[in-house]
Amino acid sequence: MLAIIAPVTLVLTAPLAMTAALLTYPDEGPSERFWVAPLVLWSIPMLLGLLSVTLAVAAIRASPGVPDWSGSRTSAVAALWVTGILFTIGLILTLRSQGLLPFV
């Protein structure tokens, strides 16, 4: 459930990140606080994602006798996939915005 809520919270943090970008970027020249807007944007989704991964790993480890197709293991694997995809997208966007990823 947390893995589904994490990407949705981007809708909540996007306006806050835009406000942070407006307040931290100067009218002319580069900003010294370029990290504030990405931090605000990804703060809640990454916290929920980390919690989701922790609970998913615990659910997979705690169910050694449970069949592979059970609901808890399926949900745990889905949570790991969603969180991994969210992390990858966030990493690519952040690296690209800083000019550290030239091929994307």
What mean pLDDT comes out for the span 73-83?
83
Q: Give tens-digit pLDDT for 13-37.
A: 889 988 998 888 888 888 888 888 8
Q: Which of 42, 53, 52, 48 is nearest to 89 (CA)?
A: 42
Whole-number pLDDT of residue 103: 73
Note the helical H segments in 1-104: 2-24, 36-61, 71-97
Report how far residue 83's alpha carbon sits from residue 89's, in angstroms, rounded to the nearest whole number. 10
Q: Give tens-digit pLDDT for 49-75.
A: 888 888 888 877 876 776 666 677 788
